[in-house]
């Protein structure tokens, strides 16, 4: 049977509504980034405090993502999305009327993490409508909602310059309300949705090493993207002495590539495999960031960051091409867990950049550390491939194009593994082997 084309294999209204949900939520989630230069001038913040202020919403996102993922698994992505959009209104109202002290901003920023948690709902809601061979592109399109950053960085400083930063939080209520109405009318749950998971199944997923390996990879790609997107307005304003609006404009230019190349990353991952794509991206990102860490003139920094953010965006698509191949029956849950790791990575990056600036007097030190981490991750990813070659199913290996760069002895496998279901990743019923033992053996790998 021929494969269906992408356009006819899914549900376009749900894909569009998932994109819009993630887009406006991302806009709200990173709103502290372009607002921080205004708030910092008013409250006389240090670089460490600026970094923490831009990072707190990302920490909140990593906290709320598994919760929204669990909610989507229980009540469906559509209802979970409506809940998330409604709750996102709360911190915006608080920022509009009640933010006067630094601790107020920390509380509001943490609650803005509810918007960042939209990732755990929007991507699986869209992805479940599409077959495995199109999931990279479908989740890439939904994930391109991170373009909401552009709305925050471009319009936010201009509005704050003329009306004050409090007004920006109030105005952000309007797109949230509009998308809430559109989501209610357009979004539908896929008929292929799996049954709600038990707590034991959640524990089993968390016990698997591959869950944490995917978390690590996404903490680099998405954490790098959202962390830089949140902090670059501060970086451009402090390091290159640009006006707040100019800093937002340069951030918009840089973020543009990462926002719109995410679907390209998903599409390329479908074609050449997410694993191979990630290897190339990590190596190139490390080189670009090393150049940026030297703090050259802005005419050099902006193109290097533009390329880096584009490759980070493509890396996001690549990771989420791989995740459903490894965990096809747990898309909602793995999306929430891996997405939480991305938000956590995003929290550490601006926090570290601000703290290292206060310690060493330069943003270059933090950027060099990040570049070194990306380079080291190339070696780690190669080692992951050696392990995955023996533990992923044949179909998942083929779609992700995983290879082993060195010869490694295959682990001794119980005979019951011969009955392993290569499509679902589960155990075929009726085998003579003890299924509990076999599941424990698989989890240990």
In angstroms, rounded to a whole number, what is the distance separating the alpha carbons of residues 80 and 74?
A: 9
> In which band, very low, low, confident or very high, does the pLDDT at 6 lie, cut at 50, 70 and 90?
low
Q: What is the mean pLDDT of the chain?
A: 84
Neighbours of 12 (CB within 10 A): 12
The yes-or-no verdict on residue 84 having pLDDT over 80 is yes
Choice among 198-202, 285-289, 427-431 with the minimum mean pLDDT:
427-431
pLDDT score at 136: 67
Q: Is the pLDDT of residue 424 over 70?
A: no
Total number of residues shown for the chain = 445
User: Which candidate, 26, 33, 259, 72, places its Cα nearest to that of 165?
Assistant: 33
Distances (CA, A) of 283 to 13, 74, 276: 37, 40, 11
Asked if pLDDT for residue 426 goes beyond 70, the answer is: no
Between residues 135 and 269, the one the model is more confident about: 269
% of the chain exceeding 70 in pLDDT? 85
* Spatial separation of the C-alpha atoms in residues 394 and 400, rounded to whole Å: 10
* Lowest mean pLDDT across 63-67, 137-141, 313-317, 356-360: 137-141
Comma-separated ranges of CATH 1.20.1250.20 domains in the chain: 11-187+201-400
- Note the pLDDT of residue 106: 93
Which pLDDT tens digit goes with each residue over 266-298?
A: 888 888 999 999 999 999 999 999 999 999 999
pLDDT on residue 67: 86
Residue 434 has pLDDT above 60, yes or no: no
Q: Is the pTM of this model over 0.75?
A: yes
Exposure string for 185-224, b = 16+ CB within 10 A, e = fewer: ebbebbeebeeebeeeebebbeebebbebbbbbbbbbbbb
**Of 36-45, 219-228, 399-408, the least confident:** 399-408
% of the chain with per-residue pLDDT over 90: 48
CATH for the stretch 11-187+201-400: 1.20.1250.20
d(CA 345, CA 364): 19
| Residue 166, CB-side half-sphere exposure with 13 Å CA sphere | 9
Mean predicted confidence (pLDDT) in 155-167: 92
pLDDT confidence of residue 444:
47
User: What is the predicted pLDDT for the residue at 332?
Assistant: 65
d(CA 170, CA 115): 15
Arithmetic mean of pLDDT, 34-45: 91
Round to whole Å and give the CA distance between 330 and 56.
28
Query: 8 pLDDT exceeds 50?
Result: yes
When pLDDT is cut at 50, 70 and 90, the band that residue 116 belongs to is confident
- Confidence bin at 409 (pLDDT 50/70/90): low
Residue 306 has pLDDT above 80, yes or no: yes
- Whole-number Å distance between alpha carbons of 341 and 112: 17
């Amino acid at each position: 049977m021929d494969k269906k084309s992408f356009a006819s294999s899914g549900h376009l209204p749900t894909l569009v509504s998932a994109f819009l949900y993630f887009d406006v939520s991302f806009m709200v989630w990173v709103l502290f980034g372009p607002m921080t230069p205004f708030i910092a001038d008013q409250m006389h913040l240090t670089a460490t405090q600026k970094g923490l202020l831009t990072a707190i919403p990302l920490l909140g996102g990593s906290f709320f993502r598994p919760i929204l993922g669990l909610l989507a698994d229980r009540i469906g992505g559509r209802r979970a999305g409506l809940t998330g959009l409604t709750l996102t209104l709360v911190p915006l109202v608080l920022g509009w009327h009640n933010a006067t002290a630094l601790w107020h901003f920390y509380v509001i920023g943490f609650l803005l993490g509810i918007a960042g948690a939209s990732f755990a709902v929007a991507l699986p809601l869209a992805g479940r409508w599409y077959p495995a061979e199109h999931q990279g592109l479908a989740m890439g399109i939904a994930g391109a909602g991170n373009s909401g950053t552009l709305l925050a960085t471009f319009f936010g400083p201009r509005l704050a310059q003329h009306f004050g930063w409090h007004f920006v939080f109030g105005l952000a209520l309007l797109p949230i309300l509009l998308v809430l109405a559109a989501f209610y009318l357009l979004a539908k749950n896929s008929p292929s949705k799996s049954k709600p998971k038990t707590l034991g199944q959640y524990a089993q997923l968390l016990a698997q090493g591959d869950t944490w390996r995917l978390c690590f990879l996404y903490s680099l790609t998405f954490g790098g993207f959202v962390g830089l997107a949140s902090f670059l307005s501060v970086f451009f304003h402090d390091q290159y002495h640009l006006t707040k609006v100019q800093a937002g404009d340069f951030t918009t230019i840089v973020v543009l590539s990462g926002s719109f190349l995410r679907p390209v990353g998903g599409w390329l991952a479908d074609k050449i495999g997410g694993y191979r794509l990630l290897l190339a991206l990590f190596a190139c990102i490390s080189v670009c960031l090393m150049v940026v860490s030297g703090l050259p003139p802005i005419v050099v920094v902006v193109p290097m960051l533009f390329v880096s953010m584009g490759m980070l965006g493509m890396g996001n698509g690549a990771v989420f091409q791989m995740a459903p191949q490894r965990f096809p029956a747990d898309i909602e849950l793995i999306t929430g867990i891996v997405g939480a790791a991305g938000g956590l990575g995003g929290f550490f990056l601006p926090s570290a950049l601000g703290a290292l600036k206060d310690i060493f007097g330069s943003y270059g030190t933090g950027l060099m550390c990040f570049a070194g981490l990306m380079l080291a991750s190339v070696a780690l990813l190669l080692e992951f491939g050696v392990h995955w070659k023996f533990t992923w199913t044949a179909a998942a290996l083929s779609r992700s194009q995983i290879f082993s760069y060195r010869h490694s002895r295959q682990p001794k496998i119980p005979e019951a593994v011969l009955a392993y279901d290569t499509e679902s990743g589960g155990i075929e019923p009726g085998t003579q082997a003890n299924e509990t033992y076999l599941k424990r053996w698989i989890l240990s790998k």
